[in-house]
């Protein structure tokens, strides 16, 4: 897995992680009922795109973040990594 882009939303904290094969969103929205959960694409209100048992994907994302070579803020990458680890 290779990360191609990272984007932050202004909804209170959703972070979109684009990879070479899929788009994942890390849920850190204000007042969310699914904190630190991983979704395929932007989180839907009915949680239909919530990735259940996402531990393997989270591990792959952590590895990919460690290899992400871009000018993107290392602080944001560290925050994503720490939040992903909370659910592993």
pLDDT at 2 over 90: yes
pLDDT at 72 over 90: no
| pLDDT tens string 56-66 | 998 898 889 88
Residue reference for tokens 């000018």: 71
Is the whole model's pTM more than 0.75, yes or no? yes
């Amino acid at each position: 897995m290779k990360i191609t882009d990272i984007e932050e939303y202004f909804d209170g904290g959703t972070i979109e992680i684009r990879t070479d094969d899929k788009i994942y969103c890390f849920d850190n929205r204000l007042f969310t009922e699914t904190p630190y959960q991983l979704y395929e694409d932007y989180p839907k209100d009915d949680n239909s795109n919530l990735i259940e048992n996402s531990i393997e994907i989270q591990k792959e994302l952590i590895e990919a973040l460690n290899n992400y070579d871009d000018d993107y803020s290392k602080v944001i990458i560290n925050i994503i990594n720490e939040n992903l680890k909370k659910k592993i």
